[in-house]
Each structure stands twice: as C-alpha cells, then as structure tokens.
Structure 1
Amino acid sequence: MSAFRISGFSGLVPRLAKHLLSSNQAQTATNCNLAGGDLRPRNAALLVFSPQIDGEIRSMFRIEKDGNEKWLAWSRDVDVARSPVAGNIPQQFYYTGDGEPRTSDFEMATTGSGIYPSTCYVLGVTPPVSEPLVMASGGSGVVTSRAYVYTFVTRWGEESQPSPVSIVTTGKIDATWMISNLDAAPPNSGAIIAVFKNSPAAGQAEISLDTVFGLRAHEEIRFESVSGMTDLNGLFTLISVDPITKKVVISLSTDQIYAGGGKWKRQAPHNTGGMNKRIYRTLATSSGSEYRYVATLSAVTKSYSDTVPDTVVALGEVLPSTNWEMSPANMRGIVMLANGIAAGFTGNEVLFSEPFKPYAWPTSYRQTYDQEIVAIAAMGTTLVGMTKGNPFTITGVEPATMGGGMEKLGVAWPCMSKRGVANFAFGVGYPAPQGMVMIGTSSDIVTKDLFTQKEWSELNPDTFIATSADNRYYCGYSAGDSSLMFVIDKAENASFSKINQNISCIWTDPITGKLYVATNKKIYEWEGDTGTKLLYEWKSKWFVTAPPVNYGAGKIDADFEMTEEERAAAQSSYNETIAANQTLISSYSMNDGLADTCLGEYEIGGDATQDIPLLSMDSLQFQLWSDGALKFIKQVRNSRAFRLPGGYKADNVEFVLSGNVKVNSVVLAETMDGLKQA
C-alpha cells in the first residue's frame, strides 16, 4: 500500500528536476520560514522610520546615543564605518559614496528635522599650502640653523600633513624667531569671478573662483546666486582644480551667458570650527634632525614669535603627521578592519589609513592590483577584494607591511554587484557569474549544489542587493518588471526560498544583529511585526509511483490554535495599524488624490494607509495535483484526517500548502488506515 509522510520541510534546489528532489524539498517556497524544519509563515516587516529623502532609499544606517535612536538614509550607494577610536562618545562615523569621503557624529548628523545626515565634514584635514617665512633677530648665544613647518588640527584632534618646509634660517639660539606667512584655515565658501562655457571642452564649464584652497577634483560644491547662467545654480562635482589659475572645471552644457555674481560653497565643509595650528621646528638629536613641537596657535593667527628654548622643545612631540594625507576624493567602499585600520578603494588601488586614524591615508600604504576593484570587505584583520576578475585578500597587522600579505586567488570569479556583497561569520560572500562565491578559510562557489550557472543567471545577480543575518544570505533582486527577495541558508534545511517583497535597500545592524529593509521610502525591521503573518506557499516535489495509484486520504499535522502571546501580538498590530491610518485620515495625508505629487507611488485606488492585519492566523489551503491537473482543494481547519477524491489512478502526484499556520507534517495514503502506516 502506497503512502508517504513529509516532515522536515526544506526549500528549493533549482538545479534539480522536480522528480529528482528529495521528499522534503520544494518546487515552490515563498514567504516560508523553514529554519526549524517545520513550515511556518514569516512575520510581516515592522515600520520603524519614514525618512525625508529624494528618491528611493539605497543605503541606510542606524545611529544611537544615550538611548536616542536616529536613522540616516541616502539615495546613493553609501558605505558607513563606525569610528574605531576608544571612547567614541560622540558616535563619530565615516562614509563614502555620497560625494567625497565624509565624517559626522550623532549631534551633527541629526540636527534639525530634514534629511539625515544633515551636517558633515570632509574626511581628513587639508594641509597648509604656504611656506612659512622665518626671520631671527637679537640674541647673544651660539649660532644655530632652523627650519619650520606647521599643521592644522581640528577640534577633534585630527592633524593635517605639514606645510611646505621653510627656508633653513640661521640665527642666535636665544634669538626671537619670527614665523609669518601662515595660512588661515581653508575656506568653505567664496565668490565666483568668471565663468567660461564650453571650456576647456564642449559640455564643460571653467569657473574662476576667488580661491581654490582646499578644493580637490571629485569633490562636490554648490553654486548659487549666479546671474544669467542660472543653469550653474546647483550642486556639481569638480572635474579638475587648478591652484595656479584658481579655476575649476565642471560638466555643464548650457546656452546661457554668464552675467555676473555668484557664490560657491562646499557640500562637505572643512572642520574649521575651533581649528588650531601647531608649529614645529628642527632640532638636532642623537638620531639626526627632527621636527619637534613648539606651540599651538589659533587657525586665524598668521604669525608667531618663537622664543622657546631648545631644552623645552626637546621634550616636545616629534611631528607625527608627515605622511598623513587625506583620502582621495573619489575613494569608495570604506570598511574598518579589526586592527583599527580603515580601508577603501579607487579604481584598481587599495587604500589604508593609519591605525585608529581614519582621517590619515599615507600614499606609501597603497596597494595596486592588476584588475579593477568592484568592492572590498573586512574579515578580521584580512581585507577581501572583489574585482572584475580574480578576487584577492590582503592580511596584516600594520598597514605598512600589509602589501606582503596580498594574495591573488587563482580563479576568475568576477563580482557582479557591489551591493550584493555580504559578511558572514565564516567569510565574505558575493555574486559571481558562476554562483555565490564565499571567500574564507577556503574559497568556493557555495551555491553549486543549488544552482547551475544558467539558473543562477536567471536571478539577475548583477541586480543583487544583499546582507547576511544569522549567517543566512538575504538578497533582493530584479526579475523583469518585478523586484523580489530570496534567502540562501547553507547551514540548515531551508536551502533556498523566495519572498514576495520589493526592496530598494537591505542592511544588518552590526550592533543589534537586526535586519532592516527599505521600500517605498520607508525603513522596516525585517519580520519585526510578530502580530502579522505573511501568507506562504509551499509546493512539494513531483512524486512518481509505479504502478499508478489513487491517494484517497490525507492528514496535516498543524497548529491551528493561536497562543495567548500570538493573540496579543495580533491585536496590538491591528490596533496600531488602525491608529496610524486614522492619523493619516485626520491630517488629510492619505495621498489619495489623482493630482497629488505622489502620483505613481501607489496602485490605482491605493493610498498611504496600511492594510489592516488579520486578527486570526488559521488559514491553510491544501491542493492535490496529478498529471498537471488540480484534483482536489480544501480549506483545512484542523489536524483530523480527510478523504481525497477517487475515480482515477496516476503515477505522479504533487501538493501545495498555502496559509499562515505552522505545519509540522503532511501524510498521504491510499486509504484512511494507510495513514497510520506512513
């Protein structure tokens, strides 16, 4: 007598034909939570924040201070790294991808009620450009020679590279040494002098400014109050900066004529509030001549009289920032390694900062690779590089010696999506044409048992946006005109399953481990709404029998009764949704008018109100299919056995479960008595 039992529900294995699947594997697994082996519905996502943002959310980051939580959101692909400095009380962080590399902290980023981060600084400290002038006068001691440099220091204690070295000057050791020609802090705004369209090339504009001190190619500045050529009023990325002619070049195609006026302003200003200068001078020591600290001045001070004795200067700090350059303005992908070293990339070059000084990026620490880099990720003290060809790793403790730790993997696994990269406890995963690559203690295509390359390509891996949570790969992707999600779990039974969820961004909070998604300009905690269950669909393998049989009985072991906790959660979700919708209705904020500015954001007849969640979770539909035809359908209300229709025999059968209750097992048999034998 033919009978079978399904328990230990699993997900899809797309590379296998439907009749070759294991008995517990699926042809369809949508909105299913299969981690425990039973079939459960996923919780709905919980709305946590609606940021003010232009465009869809492509990057997000949660920041918290003293229990006060705020969300940062961008419509660009932005990478964020928290400060590794001990006692990071201001909650400082660094980010790339939103123009030039930038930094901010909790108070700055959350000022006001607009788009967060609302305020930032450019990452790093622009060095002085003027050589100090030195003149010694008076004194009666022995003759000595000195050279001077000076640096800028922000209120955060971040120090720039030194200025150009002064001319070596001779004078009495106890003379008064007058240091002049010291730069003031770099400006964050200024005036436009002239504009030349279609110069130096068609589609470009060359703009003369009052100063270009502190401006670099690839940085963003905003022009405003321009007369005549009003197309210039707006935000632009600098193509080039000429410090001699004080001209910058931008991309701008316009027929308008510049009539005069106009101002410029940095989008990411220099951190000049409370900025100081440090003066250093040469001092002969047993190890040679060194630059030693002399004094600290306000950044606005342009001269200094040095009368500090050598005996005092000898106790001062040696100039630490000789090679502390700013990161390139087009650096991307900032990450933080476990040893406090920040890393980024541009083109085919990997960049490293000084340990625990993410504002200082010496050129000598850079490493060049022979292929263009797509993304990087940190794995302890190892940096994983994903490229348009072979991936690589760089391992080391000190940035100066990390070049010796570069290792090129011997296989071409191109990274198809920077946003598809995810960190796991055991390595770094990313989408390649062959499947999902995992770089760790060993490296391999970890999806080769799930997908052939053809089936993997049908997921459009170049559209992946992904993260990891609980060592599972959560990924959004585009298929045709729709956007879906899937989950890959290599550690448990739920190997691969799909989710009906359209997302524009996905992120795992490294502090809490919680997973968040963004859709329709809103941020949600993934499966955070425990009171609302998604409807799942799970379709079994294609069971083949010989000879043909008629399955005449079925039984589903499921939990149809809600617990008190589930009832309370469902009621809470119901009440909260009603209250939120009532607030929208009362404030006339439903966005349901055909002439509203949000036209196109909702389906026909739709609006900003939320769907009312169900108060009960007792839905379960069973379908029986044979020879590609639906033979039976039933709304199952309890775990009692039920009869299936007779009058036919077939050598194949498959069934579908749809609902929102937990299913432990399914049994099919030819007779009611046969159910007991399965």
Structure 2
Amino acid sequence: MAISITGFGGEIPRVEARLLANSAAQVARTVKLEDGSIAPLRVPTLAKALSSTALTIFLDGDDWLTWQAVVSVVPAPIAEDRLYVTGDGAPKVIAAGATYPLAVPAPSRALVASIQTGSPDPELSSTILYTYTWVTTLDEESEPAPLSNALLWSEGLNVVLSGFAVPPAGRPIDRMRIYRSQTSALGETLLYLIKERAVSASGFTDLAGENDIQEQLPSLDYNAPPANLSGLVPMPNGMMAAFVGKKLYFCEPYRPHAWPEKYILTMDYEIVGLGVFGSAVAVMTRGQPYIVAGTAPDTMSMEKLEVNLPCVSARGIVDLGYSIAYPSPEGLVVINTSGAQLVSRNLITRDQWQRLKPASFVASVHSGRYVTSYTPISGPAATLVIDLSGEQPFITHADAHATAMYYDIETSRLFYAEGLEILEWDALTAAPDMFTWRSKIFALAGHVNFSCFLADVEQMAGADTLSFTARIIADGRQVASVQTVNQVARLPSGFLARNWEIEVQSNAKVTALALAFSPTELSA
C-alpha cells in the first residue's frame, strides 16, 4: 500500500493533520500551487531603495510615490494625468508634479450691483441677480459667491458690478466667471454665464446687449470636500467615493474637486473602508456591511447586508476583480452581487484566525489570490496567501513582511514595501526561492517500513543549481534525508511505523512524491 502524492494543495488549518486530503499540506511556505505541482516563489526583486519606511506606495508612471502615513491614491477619472489623495491631511490633487489642496475656495462676499446711468422702465423692468465663481488652471470651478443685491433692471441699461475678491493663495486660480440671472415665463430664475475674465478685484460693467447668456451655472452645489475625507476609491462613470465617519460621499461625475452634500448617504455604523465592483460600492463598517449601487450619485441605492461581519482592517480590503475581500473577526469575507460570504469558514477556525491578528492585515492581490502581511499575537510577522480559485480554498505562507502593498493593474505585478526597500513579489526574471512543503500525516492501518522513495522533480528556469531535500518522518521522527531526484532512493530498515510524513525543501518544481515497499510498486 504505497503513498503517492500528486495534485499538490496548500494548508487547511481547520482540518486536523491526519484528516487532510492526501494532496493537502501541513506546511506550504514560499510556494506556488497553480497547476498541480509544487513550484517555488521567485526571490523578491528590488524595485526601489527608500530613505525611510513607507506605509503607502504608488507607482506613477516610472516614479514611485511614498507616504509615511496610510493614504488612498486614485488616478483622475478624467483625461488629464492627475492623482487624488486622501488621508494625508486635507484631500489633495497632484498635477504636473505639484500638489494642491483638493478643495477649491469660493468667493465669500456678494457682489454689489448698480445701474450705471438712467433708471429702469417701470413697464418692462425685471429683477436680476449676479454672482461669480473662481476657476483654477485645472479647469475646476468653485461654488458661487453669495447672490448680489436684487436689482430692478430693464433692457438698454448698463450694470456696474463691484466687490470682486482676489482668491487666496494655495490654489492656482487664474479666472473668474460672472453669472447673471434670468427668469423664465414660468417664473423659474436661473443663473447663466455672461463673462469669463482673468482674476481681478476690479469692477465689471455688464454693457447692455454685449453679454448674451451662455451655459447655466454648473457649480451651485459644488461643495468642497470635507477636510477629513478618507478612503477614496474610483468608480465607473467618472465618479469617486469616500467617507467621513458614518457618511458616504460621492463626487460630482468627472468633477473630483466637487463633493455635493446632497449625495451623502449615512450608514448605521462607522465606515472602515470602501471597495468597488461593477457599479456598486461595498461599504465595510464596524458593524454590518452595505452595498451601495447605481450609475450616478443621485441614483445610488443602499442595501444593508444582514450579516454581523465588521471589518477590522481598512488596509486588509482588497479588490479581487469580481468581488471585494476584507478581514472580519470571524475570517475572510467576500462581498459581491450575491451578498457577503465568510469564505474562510471551511479553511480556518475563528481561534486560528484571531491568532493572526487580522487587525494588522496589509493586503493586496496577486494572480487572483488574497495576499496579506500580518503581525500575529505571537511569533514573527509574515505573509499569508489565501487561494479562493478552486473548490477547496487553501493557504500558503511567505516570510515577507510588508508595511505597504501596491498592485499594478496594468502589468499584474505586486509590489510591497519592507524596511527601506520596495520589492516585487514573484518577479518573472528572478531566481527561484527555496520552498518548504510538508504533507499530511498518513495514518496507516498497521505498522510498516517503507523501503523506497521517489520524487519527480524539474529544475526551474533561472536556477543555477537544483537543490532538493526530502525529509521522511515516521511516527514523529526523521528516519531519512533524501537528495536523490527522478530515481528510486532506498530508505533505512530496522523499524516499523504507522504515521508517515514527507517534507520537501527545494528550489525546483515537484510533480510527484511517493513512498513504497519496493521499486516495482513505485513503477506501478
């Protein structure tokens, strides 16, 4: 009765070592388990040396941006090359190498309007109002100034406007737009652009017949983002979402500087973080999660998911493409169109999960897998990889300890900060690392002595030499150490054992392992 292992899997900590499936592992460290074989991860590759530790990293073209704080960085939902940042003080925009506050200040003083000469025709007069806005070099328009005094006016009269203010420093504001009201036959009064000019405190004369109305004032509700806005995420249709406390905010589509308060949705619990899938936002809170869905900020609908699975780490929230994953006190949760599921339920117990200290998770994605560094309650910090791609999820481990992670969606590469370095995870051009994989405990019906061992092994590209050691463990003690590959190796005799394990350490690809009583049995 030989022991044969193929179709290798990872760790399933919830299951006792004797009860694991034959292909599952007690230990799977620094391995890739993608095609049924055991293959090593490649050695981490240096992408950039740092002068200080980083808690956030972001690849902007060929340049690495780093922060010593936990921030959210989102590319602009517009054609221009800009980045938007929350978590580093007040929200910011980075454009052309310069960083500005995201909030565009608005004029605080109302204009004063007066008739230049003459008086309005009492038969044909109407009341008009004026306001103005500031516009940045990035074409961001502020909220309007308070409305001017109401002015009785009739056609043919010039109106003099005074009280224009110069914008404060901090934002590159170079223009102002002047608006005049017009009342329709139905009695609706709206504001329309009549003039755009350079920033100036000088007065302006609205000459009769020279300033026809143009487009309607768009920025009436362009509220500036709150100074403590955080958790920024991009959405389809030019939208972005972020939060403050229990409040979920949306920007005006394609206007990332404008965050109208009329779009705010309020949760029952403090928001921890956000994730986006399709046209929906997964809202992770300190209580129950929510799904907020819609194609425009004014049509977003909110659904509370009736599961008691709070999020314990905003940095552990990961976009898996088809869903959002996050750590809860109970295990790993995935939110998608079907709701929220505790996907680690059959993989790891609550006690085992708690020992990992999920509040310490710093996570990302690689090859569709959830990758997270963690600092356990006891023991060294490490990295955990949860593979949800098959029918049976499994875990692998690595020795890395990331303080920040960044997944480059354009190249499907994962980078992480560790110490004073940014490293690439499993870089294609790197040499294979050394892995450790230990089988289940094969508990046999009786005591036996296996005399032969066979390992099918292939050298990996990039490896100068093939390194392979198999430890044969019987009833808890090592009885043999084998370096022979692709041919039968003889094992020592003179003992019997009931519980057998195989532990492999190698930088090569292993496709099969077997223990048998004879070479003939191995060939069969």
Interval of TM-score (by shorter of Structure 1 and Structure 2): over 0.9
Instruction: Give the letter aligned to residue 656 of structure 1.
Output: E
Does the CA contact (< 8 Å) of 2:120 and 2:153 recur in 1? no
Supply the distance in 1 between the matched residues of 2:12 and 2:335 (Cα, whole angstroms). 22
1:3 to 1:93, Cα distance in 2 relative to 1, 3 A? same
Return the match for 2:68 from 62, 75, 80: 75
The reply to whether residue 468 of structure 1 matches residue 358 of structure 2 is: no
Return the match for 1:496 from 374, 377, 395: 395
Q: Deviations over 1:389-442 (max 9, x none)?
A: 10001111221121xx10000111010100000011221000001111000022
The reply to whether residue 298 of structure 1 matches residue 198 of structure 2 is: yes
Hey, what does 1:248 align to over in structure 2?
Answer: none
The reply to whether residue 406 of structure 1 matches residue 254 of structure 2 is: no
1:390 to 1:185, Cα distance in 2 relative to 1, 3 A? same
Supply the distance in 2 between the matched residues of 1:285 and 1:327 (Cα, whole angstroms). 33
Q: Deviations over 1:348-379 (max 9, x none)?
A: 00001111111111111001111110001111
SS of 2:18's equivalent in the other structure is coil
The reply to whether residue 124 of structure 1 matches residue 103 of structure 2 is: yes
C-alpha deviation, 1:477, in angstroms: 0.5
Does the CA contact (< 8 Å) of 1:122 and 1:271 recur in 2? no
C-alpha deviation, 1:518, in angstroms: 1.0
Q: Deviations over 1:607-636 (max 9, x none)?
A: xxxxxxxx6230000101112111111223
Superposed, which structure 2 residues align to 1:39-438 within 5 Å? 39-52=38-51, 54=52, 56-64=53-61, 69-85=62-78, 87-88=79-80, 91-105=81-95, 107-108=96-97, 119-139=98-118, 142=121, 143-187=125-169, 269-272=170-173, 275-287=174-186, 288-309=188-209, 312-314=211-213, 316-402=214-300, 405-438=301-334
Does the CA contact (< 8 Å) of 1:161 and 1:324 recur in 2? yes
Instruction: Give the letter aligned to residue 663 of structure 1.
Output: V
SS of 1:482's equivalent in the other structure is coil
Supply the distance in 1 between the matched residues of 2:321 and 2:161 (Cα, whole angstroms). 55
Return the match for 1:455 from 352, 358, 361: 352
Instruction: Give the letter aligned to residue 623 of structure 1.
Output: R
Does the CA contact (< 8 Å) of 1:137 and 1:171 recur in 2? no
Does the CA contact (< 8 Å) of 1:51 and 1:71 recur in 2? no
Q: Deviations over 1:182-210 (max 9, x none)?
A: 111123xxxxxxxxxxxxxxxxxxxxxxx
Return the match for 2:424 from 525, 530, 550: 525
C-alpha deviation, 1:536, in angstroms: 0.4
Supply the distance in 1 between the matched residues of 2:393 and 2:6 (Cα, whole angstroms). 13
Supply the distance in 2 between the matched residues of 1:172 and 1:547 (Cα, whole angstroms). 108
Hey, what does 1:31 align to over in structure 2?
Answer: 30
1:308 to 1:429, Cα distance in 2 relative to 1, 3 A? farther
Does the CA contact (< 8 Å) of 2:157 and 2:208 recur in 1? no
Instruction: Give the letter aligned to residue 294 of structure 2.
Output: G
C-alpha deviation, 1:173, in angstroms: 3.0
C-alpha deviation, 1:39, in angstroms: 0.7
Hey, what does 1:633 align to over in structure 2?
Answer: 481
SS of 1:533's equivalent in the other structure is coil
Does the CA contact (< 8 Å) of 1:139 and 1:173 recur in 2? no
Supply the distance in 2 between the matched residues of 1:440 and 1:57 (Cα, whole angstroms). 31
C-alpha deviation, 1:140, in angstroms: 7.0
Q: Deviations over 1:325-367 (max 9, x none)?
A: 1110100011111122111000000001111111111111001
Hey, what does 1:642 align to over in structure 2?
Answer: 489
Superposed, which structure 2 residues align to 1:582-661 within 5 Å? 616-636=464-484, 638-661=485-508
Name the TM-score, length of structure 2 as normaliser. 0.95
C-alpha deviation, 1:139, in angstroms: 4.5
Supply the distance in 2 between the matched residues of 1:671 and 1:504 (Cα, whole angstroms). 51
SS of 1:527's equivalent in the other structure is coil
1:531 to 1:428, Cα distance in 2 relative to 1, 3 A? closer
Supply the distance in 2 between the matched residues of 1:18 and 1:43 (Cα, whole angstroms). 28
Hey, what does 1:535 align to over in structure 2?
Answer: 434
Does the CA contact (< 8 Å) of 1:515 and 1:526 recur in 2? yes
Supply the distance in 2 between the matched residues of 1:162 and 1:148 (Cα, whole angstroms). 10
Supply the distance in 1 between the matched residues of 2:156 and 2:380 (Cα, whole angstroms). 78
Q: Which consecutive residues of structure 2, in runs of 5 or more, have no partner in the other structure?
A: none
Supply the distance in 1 between the matched residues of 2:111 and 2:137 (Cα, whole angstroms). 23
Name the TM-score, length of structure 1 as normaliser. 0.74
Instruction: Give the letter aligned to residue 279 of structure 1.
Output: I
Does the CA contact (< 8 Å) of 2:441 and 2:500 recur in 1? yes
Give the root-mean-square deviation of aligned CA atoms.
Answer: 1.7
Q: Deviations over 1:197-228 (max 9, x none)?
A: xxxxxxxxxxxxxxxxxxxxxxxxxxxxxxxx
Hey, what does 1:665 align to over in structure 2?
Answer: 512
C-alpha deviation, 1:8, in angstroms: 0.8
Supply the distance in 1 between the matched residues of 2:31 and 2:208 (Cα, whole angstroms). 74
Which contiguous aligned blocks of 4+ residues in structure 1 show a shift greater than 3 angstroms? 139-144
Instruction: Give the letter aligned to residue 171 of structure 2.
Output: H
Does the CA contact (< 8 Å) of 2:163 and 2:201 recur in 1? no
1:141 to 1:317, Cα distance in 2 relative to 1, 3 A? same
Query: Percent identity between the aligned chains?
Result: 30
Supply the distance in 2 between the matched residues of 1:663 and 1:139 (Cα, whole angstroms). 96
Hey, what does 1:505 align to over in structure 2?
Answer: 404
Supply the distance in 1 between the matched residues of 2:431 and 2:326 (Cα, whole angstroms). 32
1:668 to 1:481, Cα distance in 2 relative to 1, 3 A? closer
Q: Deviations over 1:273-316 (max 9, x none)?
A: xx211110111223522111111122233421111528x533x1
Supply the distance in 2 between the matched residues of 1:481 and 1:539 (Cα, whole angstroms). 20
C-alpha deviation, 1:9, in angstroms: 0.8
Supply the distance in 2 between the matched residues of 1:308 and 1:523 (Cα, whole angstroms). 64
Does the CA contact (< 8 Å) of 1:35 and 1:494 recur in 2? no
Hey, what does 1:486 align to over in structure 2?
Answer: 384
Hey, what does 2:21 align to over in structure 1?
Answer: 22
C-alpha deviation, 1:58, in angstroms: 1.1
SS of 2:521's equivalent in the other structure is helix
Supply the distance in 2 between the matched residues of 1:626 and 1:393 (Cα, whole angstroms). 52
C-alpha deviation, 1:141, in angstroms: 6.5
SS of 1:19's equivalent in the other structure is helix
